[in-house]
Amino acid sequence: MFEARYDWKYDSASVSDLEREIQEKMGISKLLAELLVKRQHTDFDEIREFLLPTENSIHDSYLMHDMQKAIERIQDAIINDEKITVYGDYDADGITSTALMYETLEELGANVDYYIPNRFSDGYGPNMNVYRDLIEQGTKLIVTVDNGVSGYEEVEYAKKQGVDVVITDHHELPEKLPNAVAIVHPRHPEKKYLCPNLTGVGVAFKVASALLEDIPQELLDLVAIGTIADLMPILGENRALVKFGILALQQTSRPGLIALLNNAKVKLSEVNEETIGFVLAPRLNSLGRIQNAQSGVELLTTTDETRAKQIASQVEDLNNRRKELVEKITKEASEVLTTSAAGHSINLVVGKDWHEGVLGIVASHLVEETGRPSIVLSFTKEGNKLKGSGRSIEAFQLFDAIDAHRELLDSFGGHHMACGLTIDVNNLEKFQMALDSEARKQNLNLHKKEILYIDRILDIDMVSPNLINEVNQLAPFGVGNPKPIFSFKNYEVLKPFLMGKSKSHLKMTIKGEKSAADAIAFFIGENGQKLVDGAHNIRFVGNLTTNFWNGQLKPQIMIKDYYIPVEKNAKFKLIDLRKNKLTTNLLKKNGVLFFFNQDIYQKIANLFDDDLEVIVGLKNLSHKKKVKNLVIIDCPNTIEDFGSLLNGISFEELTTVLYPYESVLQSGMPTRQDFICVYRFVVGHKNINLKKDLNRLATYLKIKKDLLIFILKVFFEVGFVRIDNGLMTGLAATKVINLEDTSSYRDRQRLLEVEKTLLMCKTDEFEKIILKLMRV
| Residue 540 vs residue 738, higher pLDDT | 540
Phi, psi of 345 (to 5 degrees): -85, -25
Task: Give dist(CA 258, CA 253) in Å, integer.
Answer: 7
Residue 148 identity = G
Q: Kindly state the helix (H) or strand (E) to which residue 250 belongs, with its residue range.
A: helix 236-250
Which whole number is the average pLDDT over 472-482? 93
pLDDT higher than threshold 70 for residue 569 = no
pLDDT higher than threshold 90 for residue 606 = no
How large is the C-alpha radius of gyration of the chain?
31
Which whole number is the average pLDDT over 499-528? 87
Predicted local confidence at residue 108, as pLDDT: 97
pLDDT higher than threshold 90 for residue 418 = no
Which whole number is the average pLDDT over 744-753? 85
| Residue 197 vs residue 607, higher pLDDT | 197
pLDDT higher than threshold 70 for residue 626 = yes
Among 228-242, 579-593, 636-650, 748-762, the range scoring the smallest mean pLDDT is 579-593
Which whole number is the average pLDDT over 286-291? 91
What percentage of the chain reaches a pLDDT higher than 70? 96
Residue 584 identity = T
Predicted local confidence at residue 68, as pLDDT: 97
Render pLDDT for 28-61 as a digit per residue (tens, 0 to 9). 998 999 999 988 898 999 999 999 999 999 999 9
Cα-Cα-Cα-Cα torsion 97, 102, 103, 107, nearest 10 degrees, comes to 140
Encode 351-383: b = buried (16+ Cβ within 10 Å), e = exposed: beebbbbbbbbbbbbbbeeebbbbbbbbbeeee
Which whole number is the average pLDDT over 513-529? 86
DSSP-based three-state secondary structure for 199: coil
Which whole number is the average pLDDT over 651-669? 84
* DSSP conformation class of 280: I
Q: What CATH class does 346-441 carry?
A: alpha beta
Predicted local confidence at residue 4, as pLDDT: 84
Q: 7-48+452-563 is classed in which CATH architecture?
A: Beta Barrel (2.40)
pLDDT higher than threshold 80 for residue 712 = yes
Predicted local confidence at residue 776, as pLDDT: 44
* DSSP conformation class of 147: S
Please report, for the chain, the start and end positions of each structural domain, with discontinuous segments joined by +: 7-48+452-563, 57-318, 346-441, 573-664+760-774, 672-754
Task: Give dist(CA 174, CA 148) in Å, integer.
Answer: 9
Of the pLDDT bands very low, low, confident and very high (cuts 50, 70, 90), residue 566 is low
Among 53-67, 582-596, 758-772, the range scoring the smallest mean pLDDT is 582-596
Of the pLDDT bands very low, low, confident and very high (cuts 50, 70, 90), residue 567 is low
pLDDT higher than threshold 50 for residue 336 = yes
Predicted local confidence at residue 343, as pLDDT: 65
Which whole number is the average pLDDT over 186-192? 93
Q: Are strands 451-454 and 7-10 parallel, antiparallel or unpaired?
A: parallel
Of the pLDDT bands very low, low, confident and very high (cuts 50, 70, 90), residue 187 is very high
What percentage of the chain reaches a pLDDT higher than 90? 52
Choose the most confident range, by mean pLDDT, from 259-273, 575-589, 661-675.
259-273
Q: What is the pTM of this model?
A: 0.73
DSSP-based three-state secondary structure for 164: strand
* DSSP conformation class of 739: G
Render pLDDT for 340-385 as a digit per residue (tens, 0 to 9). 655 688 999 999 999 988 999 999 989 988 888 999 999 988 778 8
Q: Are strands 505-511 and 516-521 parallel, antiparallel or unpaired?
A: antiparallel
pLDDT higher than threshold 50 for residue 493 = yes
Question: Are 582 and 664 a contacting pair, CB within 8 Å?
Answer: no
Which whole number is the average pLDDT over 380-401? 88
Q: Kindly state the helix (H) or strand (E) to which residue 466 belongs, with its residue range.
A: helix 465-471
429, burial (CB in 10 Å: exposed 0-12, middle 13-18, buried 19+): exposed
Mean pLDDT computed over every residue of the chain: 89
* DSSP conformation class of 197: T
Among 420-424, 487-491, 552-556, 579-583, the range scoring the smallest mean pLDDT is 579-583
Q: Kindly state the helix (H) or strand (E) to which residue 557 belongs, with its residue range.
A: strand 552-563
Task: Give dist(CA 665, CA 511) in Å, integer.
Answer: 52
| Residue 83 vs residue 120, higher pLDDT | 83
Task: Give dist(CA 191, CA 194) in Å, integer.
Answer: 10
Predicted local confidence at residue 414, as pLDDT: 73
Task: Give dist(CA 162, CA 394) in Å, integer.
Answer: 46
pLDDT higher than threshold 90 for residue 184 = yes
Predicted local confidence at residue 63, as pLDDT: 96
pLDDT higher than threshold 80 for residue 144 = yes
Q: Kindly state the helix (H) or strand (E) to which residue 754 belongs, with its residue range.
A: helix 743-759
pLDDT higher than threshold 80 for residue 112 = yes
Residues in the chain: 776
Other Cβ atoms within 10 Å of 529 Cβ, number: 10
Predicted local confidence at residue 666, as pLDDT: 78
Angle at 40 between CA 35 and CA 46, to 5 degrees: 95
Q: Which listed CATH number (1.10.10, 1.10.760, 1.10.3710, 1.10.287) goes with 672-754?
A: 1.10.10
The dihedral through the CA atoms of 314, 319, 324, 326 has a sign that is positive
Of the pLDDT bands very low, low, confident and very high (cuts 50, 70, 90), residue 647 is confident
pLDDT higher than threshold 90 for residue 285 = yes
Q: What CATH class does 573-664+760-774 carry?
A: alpha beta
Q: Which listed CATH number (3.90.1640.30, 1.20.120.330, 3.10.310.30, 2.60.40.10) goes with 57-318?
A: 3.90.1640.30
Which whole number is the average pLDDT over 467-494? 93
Encode 55-81: b = buried (16+ Cβ within 10 Å), e = exposed: eebbbebeebbbbeebbebbeebbeee
Other Cβ atoms within 10 Å of 556 Cβ, number: 20
pLDDT higher than threshold 70 for residue 692 = yes
DSSP-based three-state secondary structure for 630: strand
- Select from 468, 357, 283 the least CA-distant residue to 121: 357
Of the pLDDT bands very low, low, confident and very high (cuts 50, 70, 90), residue 610 is low
Question: Are 678 and 768 a contacting pair, CB within 8 Å?
Answer: no
| Residue 735 vs residue 73, higher pLDDT | 73
Predicted local confidence at residue 738, as pLDDT: 83
Q: What is the DSSP string of 632-694?
A: EEE--SSHHHHHHHHHHEEEEEEEEEEE-TT--TTT----HHHHHHHHHHHTT---EEHHHHH
* DSSP conformation class of 277: I
Which whole number is the average pLDDT over 225-232? 93
Question: Are 90 and 97 a contacting pair, CB within 8 Å?
Answer: no
How far does the chain reach from its first CA to its final CA, in angstroms? 13
Angle at 476 between CA 470 and CA 481, to 5 degrees: 90
- In sequence order, the β-bridge partners of residue 659 are 634
Predicted local confidence at residue 475, as pLDDT: 93
